[in-house]
Amino acid sequence: MEFKEALTFRHACKVFDENKKISKDEFGEILEAGRLAPSAMNMQNWEFEIIKDKELLSKVKKACWDQIQITSASELMVIYAKISELKNDEYIKKIVALKCKSKEDQEAYFNKVKAFIKNNVGDSDEQIYGWSRAQCYLAVQNMMMQAAVLGIDSCPLEGFVESELNKVLEINPKEKRVAILLAFGYKIKPTTPKFRLNLDEIVKYR
């Protein structure tokens, strides 16, 4: 599928066909698209968890306003925004070492990352969560578009009670927080047309 066609194909699928499953290889391609997503300073602020257990899926659904996508999807992914790791020098050094080979370059880039977080993000959990959550959405878009290219439907899910979801998933919100959930599968109903503002209403030049 061509990219522009995939843009039109992609939509927020509300009900998936429970009998149609995504192949392991194709879902692997979707995950790889998430892994390759851009992030500020290449900090890769995300973590992906695939929920397969049916009992757990049922509990997750209750914490997500009983949205049917949770249990009708072929695959349900919880995307976490990292917090504590972004405060951990060892994590930052690990990421820096992927990019920089010499000790001098590693030290220089490490200091650049630390300065960026201090001056542009902040050091509170809430500030780091806000930054990490924004980076997660870049990975979300990558994965939804890769799915669309493969003819696979998706639905991003922001509707959840975080405190309840934390209990169900046994999450320590000091370490990471749920940014969004992402469901993948195959639609039952035909896609409805997109309704978007015209370009001249959203694009300005100066």
What are φ and ψ of residue 97, in 5° steps? -65, -20
Amino acid at 188: I
Token pair in block for residue 92: 């930052």
In the chain, where are the structural domains located? Answer: 3-202
pLDDT in tens, 64-97: 999 999 999 999 999 999 999 999 999 999 999 9
DSSP 60-79: HHHHTTT-THHHHSSEEEEE
Coil vs helix vs strand at 58: helix
> Residue 49: what pLDDT?
99
- Tokens 């820096």, residue located: 96
pLDDT in tens, 155-197: 999 999 999 999 999 999 999 999 999 999 999 999 888 999 9
pLDDT tier, 47 (very low <50, low <70, confident <90, very high otherwise): very high
**Mean pLDDT for all residues in the chain:** 98
How far is 136 from 115, CA to CA, in rounded Å? 21
> Residue 139: what pLDDT?
99
> Residue 1: what pLDDT?
87
Q: Are 80 and 173 in contact (CB under 8 A)?
A: no
Q: Which CATH architecture has domain 3-202?
A: 3-Layer(aba) Sandwich (3.40)
Handedness of CA 161, 179, 61, 172 (dihedral sign): negative
Q: Are 131 and 168 in contact (CB under 8 A)?
A: no
Coil vs helix vs strand at 183: strand
> Residue 192: what pLDDT?
87
Interval 112-133 mean pLDDT:
98
pTM: 0.96
Token pair in block for residue 161: 């009670």
pLDDT tier, 24 (very low <50, low <70, confident <90, very high otherwise): very high
